[in-house]
């Protein structure tokens, strides 16, 4: 694990994810780490980043210290550019106006398929999870960033249920299934940043966080994961941590 770190795993996830976002993008973000990452990016290097909430809010102003607990909460609407019915939000996705989708999940497999529905046998699941919401639409129509803890039980050979499609069975299977656009872009974990091979669409290690080894990533992954020109990420800066703590002073999302 990361030695001598002065930050939590959730802070690391938010910071590393924020660095991926670019000025001028429209990002479909949920609450928690995705929202923290988007607001951090806005503050530090992407002032023109537009946040879109599933509840219908486009371009809100998120007040530091007053993070909304849900995408349907009134704090999501402050100084928003527009408030739409949820069906119109999904139409924005279908029309190609959203660049990046941002979510987590309980399981992910080597092709980036996400499960947030259930764990175990569908007829008698061990655990029932929240389900799709707009997760299927988002992952079908945007470039996806996924954030999650890196554990063997989460990084599996095959997810128990495909709630949000990644590259399905790899290769060209996503396009052949009728999803020619979008797909998994990056997976950000507390150990590494992962991408996807452009031909096979299998998950690959692109960068390790300081103090993490490739063997550690492999030990925490249930499938054979390849490495692709591994780099080392820069540790979170004091400025990044300071802004995060300003947005989440009680560490509701970053404990």
Query: Would you give the distance in Å from CA 86 to the centre of its chain?
Result: 21
HEC profile for 42-67? HHHCCCCCEEECCCCEECCCCCCCCC
Cα–Cα dist 148/145, whole Å: 10
Residue 226 has φ and ψ, to the nearest 5°, of -90, 165
Told to judge if 246 belongs to the known catalytic residues of this protein, a careful annotator would answer no
Residues shown for the chain: 255
**Cβ neighbours for 113, distance < 8 A, ≥ 6 positions apart:** 159, 162, 164, 165, 166, 167, 168
Residue 138 has φ and ψ, to the nearest 5°, of -65, -50
Cα–Cα dist 255/245, whole Å: 10
Candidates 3, 11, 54, 176; catalytic one: 54
Beta strands in the chain (DSSP E): 26-29, 50-52, 57-58, 82-83, 100-103, 107-108, 114-115, 118-121, 124-128, 143-147, 183-188, 192-196, 203-208, 226-232
Cα–Cα dist 23/207, whole Å: 22
DSSP designation for 155: B
- List, by residue number, the catalytic residues: 54
């Amino acid at each position: 694990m990361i030695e001598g770190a002065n930050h939590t795993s959730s802070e690391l996830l938010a910071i590393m994810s924020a660095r991926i976002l670019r000025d001028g993008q429209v990002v479909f973000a949920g609450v928690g780490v995705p929202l923290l990452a988007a607001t951090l990016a806005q503050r530090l290097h992407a002032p023109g980043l537009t946040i879109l909430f599933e509840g219908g809010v486009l371009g809100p102003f998120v007040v530091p210290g007053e993070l909304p607990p849900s995408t349907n909460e009134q704090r999501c609407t402050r100084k928003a550019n527009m408030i739409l019915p949820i069906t119109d939000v999904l139409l924005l996705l279908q029309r190609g106006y959203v660049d990046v989708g941002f979510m987590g999940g309980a399981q992910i497999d080597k092709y980036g398929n996400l499960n947030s529905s259930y764990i175990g046998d569908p007829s008698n699941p061990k655990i029932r999870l929240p389900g799709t919401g707009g997760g299927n639409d988002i992952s079908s129509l945007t470039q996806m960033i996924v954030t999650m803890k890196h554990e063997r039980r989460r990084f599996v050979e095959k997810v128990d249920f495909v709630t949000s499609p990644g590259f399905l069975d790899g290769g060209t299977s996503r396009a052949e299934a009728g999803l020619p656009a979008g797909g998994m872009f990056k997976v950000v974990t507390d150990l590494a940043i992962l991408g996807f091979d452009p031909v096979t669409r299998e998950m690959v290690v692109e960068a390790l966080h300081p103090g993490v080894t490739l063997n550690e990533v492999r030990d925490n992954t249930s499938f054979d994961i390849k490495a692709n020109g591994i780099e080392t990420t820069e540790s979170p800066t004091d400025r990044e941590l300071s802004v995060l703590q300003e947005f989440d002073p009680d560490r509701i999302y970053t404990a």
